[in-house]
Amino acid sequence: MAEEVKKPEEVKKPRKPLDPNSAKYKLGKIASDAFATAIEAKKQGKPVAWVSSNFPVEIPETLGLATAYPENQAAGIAARGAGERMCEVAEADGYSNDICAYARISLAYAKLKECPEQDVAMPDVLLCCNNICNCMIKWYENLSQELNIPMIMLDIPFNPDYEVSDAEVAYVTGQFWDAVHQLEDLFGLKWDDDRFKEVTGFSCRSSRAWLEATAQAKYTPSPFNGFDLLNHMAVMVTARGKKEAGEAMETLLKEYKENHEKGESTFRVEEKHRVMFEGIACWPYLRVTSRGLKDRGINMVTTIYADAFGFDYNSFDEMIRAYCSVPNAINLEKSRDKRVKLCKDNNVEGLLVHTNRSCKLWSGFMAEMSRQIGKECNIPVTSFDGDQADPRNFSEAQYDTRVQGLCEIMESNKEAKEA
């Protein structure tokens, strides 16, 4: 009898502890502290707000109101594998599976009040802004009804014009101060102009460093793997008005600049091709979608999704205009031009579009917009079906075929250019 060959035991390499001075450590800590701080505030009897991602963070931050971001929470829950479980809770209560999966997860959380994959402090008020989408309004209205708490609405409607009009600025400004006064009345908080000035300074500092960091992809090869941005942007969503966020973003920028100077990158394989990723990340399959690109040497160097959370301004009016100009609130032409600029600035060779079943607004106009971007930049475009948080809407084999097809066109284009 042949002697049994003993396989050497697999020894898992212990993860090297992160350097506390690194951007990854700092950003990770800020992101996790964001949830913990609100939970602690709640324990101390302080009010907590649930806030939509593009609501002016300057309001709760200036008032010292603790915050939690349901979109950020839902993304975390989905990335940790609990998206389907939570969606099913909402669906059992009658919410259609056509509704945004972030909304379904959030509504399920409002019912269960716990989810080990990402707990948050329960809210005392809801701060809703529809510049990201209109589904947000119904989602928050239902939360308000279910939890019996007030909802403060900041209406920033979709802008069909290219520029933000003075009338729109006046309309939003009026609501901005009304939201402040409502919060003062509800919780006895006090607005302080000096603190507001400080917060806007922090917010702009974070935004400038963030936007400059993402712009380092202008170098070939890029000093970073674009999927890093999807993790780091959590800080821009939840904490851009905090001093430590600005410091961490500046560290990130410094590291990317150093990477470029040293010829290094967090994209650990040879960068053969560069693409722009369009749409919200497919959180339940982040590893699969990342690997499908990385295995072929494709670096996702840019995405408007990351830049969407950088708000840079020099005056109150400019701040309002910035909140009126977030990607989902602007018309097709302006949306296209912003993306074309990203493609050209970052030497993009192909466009990969996530047709996100959750986000009808974003995915709905992508068919035409991606056609226009492809034409303007002379790059191939492909799209795949998926979802930002509901894992039932993605097929790995279909994703793989589309990415491979895109890769083969980019290779063929490169060969033709070299010939």
Choose one: 173-181, 220-228, 299-307, 397-405; the region binding other proteins (CB under 8 A): 397-405
Q: Report d(CA 201, CA 312) in Å as an integer.
A: 10
Binders of other proteins in range 338-367 (CB under 8 A)? 355, 367
Instruction: Figure out which of the listed residues 1, 397, 417, 418 binds other proteins, where binding follows CB under 8 A.
Output: 397
Sheet holding 350-356, edge to edge: 298-302, 273-278, 350-356, 381-386
CB of 408 to other proteins, least distance (A): 5
Instruction: Figure out which of the listed residues 95, 382, 387, 389 binds other proteins, where binding follows CB under 8 A.
Output: 382
Q: Is residue 398 within the footprint of other proteins (CB under 8 A)?
A: yes
Q: Is residue 395 within the footprint of other proteins (CB under 8 A)?
A: yes
CB of 272 to other proteins, least distance (A): 16
Cβ nearer to other proteins, comparing 28 with 374: 374
Cβ nearer to other proteins, comparing 328 with 393: 393
Measure CA 417 to chain center: 35
Q: Is residue 400 within the footprint of other proteins (CB under 8 A)?
A: yes
CB of 386 to other proteins, least distance (A): 10
- Tell me how crowded residue 168 is: count the other CB atoms within 10 A of its CB: 18
Whether residue 380 has a cis bond before it, omega within 30° of 0: no
Instruction: From 82, 80, 127, select the one nearest 104 (Cα to Cα).
Output: 82
- Containing H/E element for 414? helix 396-418
Cβ nearer to other proteins, comparing 59 with 369: 369
- Containing H/E element for 51? strand 48-51
Q: What Å distances lie between residue 135 and 13, 92, 138, CA to CA?
A: 45, 19, 6
The amino acid sitting at 293 is L
Instruction: From 108, 74, 76, 111, select the one nearest 91 (Cα to Cα).
Output: 108
Instruction: Figure out which of the listed residues 40, 146, 401, 414 binds other proteins, where binding follows CB under 8 A.
Output: 401
Choose one: 71-79, 87-95, 169-177, 373-381; the region binding other proteins (CB under 8 A): 373-381
Residues that bind other proteins (CB under 8 A): 355, 367, 371, 374, 380-382, 385, 393, 395, 397-398, 400-402, 404-405, 408-409, 412-413, 416
